[in-house]
Amino acid sequence: MKNWLTQAAAALFAVAALASCEKDEVKATLTPSNAPMLSASTSAVVLTQPNSGQPAVTFTWTPVKSLAWSNTNSSYAPSVTYQLQVSTPEGGFAGPASIPAGAGPTTVVTVEALNAALTSLALAPGVATKVQVRLAAVVGADKQAFHSAPVDLTVTPYKVCIAPNSDTWSIIGPAGVDWNTDVPLTYDCDTRTYKVTRTLNAGEFKFRKNNDWGVNYGSNVPRSGSGSAALASGGNNIAVPTTGTYTISLDLNALTYTLTQ
């Protein structure tokens, strides 16, 4: 019995000593020479899918110039990578969306890249929303990060829309430009139609696929002005009666078109 008590006391002493050692241990730390700084080229941006490859915001920033160790003699110089972190004010960067920032001192974020970050935050498309963006300097394999002060940005994301196939559709004719120039239509995922809104001339047009006359549609239904009508393969030219701003819609499922002023 005495031997058992002696062993238990020794074990408790070892645990207490270990805890004391861990408590007294001083960890090596890294300290940046300066805090990263960030600024944006705009405070508000409206994103649209047709402009997905265009710049949305240009961020200008200063990197961390150097890192200093404390509580160690280590000369190890960890790598530093940079990323832009996006969050809503309510989120407080608890689970931010990240965009690679490269080497700086400027990072041009495209419409597509910014919209992808906003989509990951579950922001409503078509609604102007306030977000915050900060620069994170991420150090070494341990991913210790130093952050800039956030900048405010009002953004309007879009719903990503992918056409059912790679075919393109356009109008051609003097109502648009002339019989040698196609005016492209954009696929609308909500209505499943191809559309364009623009100024049209008083004149005629037809629809055609892939900028080629191999597949083209006109209409054999006489119509003057706004409205809808059935399409016909190789049909008659469609007339625009007066110059003005119109929306043209092509519905390939119903084989109809709509012209609205």
Q: What is the mean pLDDT of residues 156-164?
A: 91
Note whether 254 and 186 are same-domain residues.
Answer: yes
Note whether 142 and 41 are same-domain residues.
Answer: yes
With respect to residue 105, please indicate whether it lies within any of the assigned structural domains: yes
Q: What is the mean pLDDT of residues 108-112?
A: 97
Q: By residue range, what is the domain housing residue 100? A: 29-156
With respect to residue 224, please indicate whether it lies within any of the assigned structural domains: yes
pLDDT of residue 30: 67
**CA 172 to chain CA mean position, Å:** 32
Residue 138 has a CB neighbour count (10 Å cut-off) of: 19
Note whether 137 and 176 are same-domain residues.
Answer: no
In this prediction, what percent of the chain has a pLDDT beyond 90?
66
Three-state DSSP at 51 gives: helix
Mean pLDDT of the chain: 86
Whether the per-residue pLDDT at 19 is higher than 50: the answer is no
pLDDT of residue 16: 36
With respect to residue 15, please indicate whether it lies within any of the assigned structural domains: no
Q: What is the mean pLDDT of residues 31-55?
A: 90
Give CA–CA dist 111/199, Å, rounded. 26
Give CA–CA dist 136/144, Å, rounded. 10
Alpha carbon separation from 149 to 10, 62, 187, 254 (Å, rounded): 52, 12, 40, 53
Whether the per-residue pLDDT at 180 is higher than 80: the answer is yes
With respect to residue 135, please indicate whether it lies within any of the assigned structural domains: yes
Note whether 101 and 134 are same-domain residues.
Answer: yes
H or E element that contains 200: strand 193-200
Note whether 123 and 186 are same-domain residues.
Answer: no
- Buried residues in 157-185 as b, exposed as e (16+ CB within 10 A): bbeeeeeeeeebbbbbbbbbeeeeebbeb
Whether the per-residue pLDDT at 99 is higher than 80: the answer is yes
Three-state DSSP at 120 gives: helix
In this prediction, what percent of the chain has a pLDDT beyond 70?
83
pTM exceeding 0.75: no
Note whether 144 and 175 are same-domain residues.
Answer: no
pLDDT of residue 179: 98
Specify the CATH number for the domain of residue 189: 2.60.40.3620
Whether the per-residue pLDDT at 167 is higher than 80: the answer is yes
The pair phi, psi for residue 111, each rounded to 5°, is -60, -45
With respect to residue 20, please indicate whether it lies within any of the assigned structural domains: no
Q: 75 or 145: whose pLDDT is higher?
A: 145
Note whether 115 and 206 are same-domain residues.
Answer: no
Note whether 71 and 129 are same-domain residues.
Answer: yes
pLDDT of residue 79: 81
With respect to residue 114, please indicate whether it lies within any of the assigned structural domains: yes
In contact, 109 and 115? CB cutoff 8 Å: no
Instruction: Tell which of 123, 156, 189 closes a domain.
Output: 156
Total domains in the chain come to 2
Q: 238 or 8: whose pLDDT is higher?
A: 238
With respect to residue 162, please indicate whether it lies within any of the assigned structural domains: no
pLDDT of residue 113: 97
Instruction: Tell which of 95, 125, 156 closes a domain.
Output: 156
Note whether 179 and 202 are same-domain residues.
Answer: yes
Whether the per-residue pLDDT at 214 is higher than 70: the answer is yes
Whether the per-residue pLDDT at 4 is higher than 70: the answer is no
Tens digits of residue pLDDT in 227-253: 899 999 999 999 999 999 999 999 999
Q: What is the mean pLDDT of residues 185-197?
A: 92
Specify the CATH number for the domain of residue 135: 2.60.40.3760
Within the chain, residue ranges assigned H as helices are: 2-24, 111-120
With respect to residue 132, please indicate whether it lies within any of the assigned structural domains: yes
Instruction: Tell which of 100, 122, 156 closes a domain.
Output: 156
Note whether 34 and 151 are same-domain residues.
Answer: yes
Note whether 127 and 182 are same-domain residues.
Answer: no
Amino acid present at 2: K
Note whether 70 and 141 are same-domain residues.
Answer: yes
pLDDT of residue 65: 74
Q: 5 or 172: whose pLDDT is higher?
A: 172
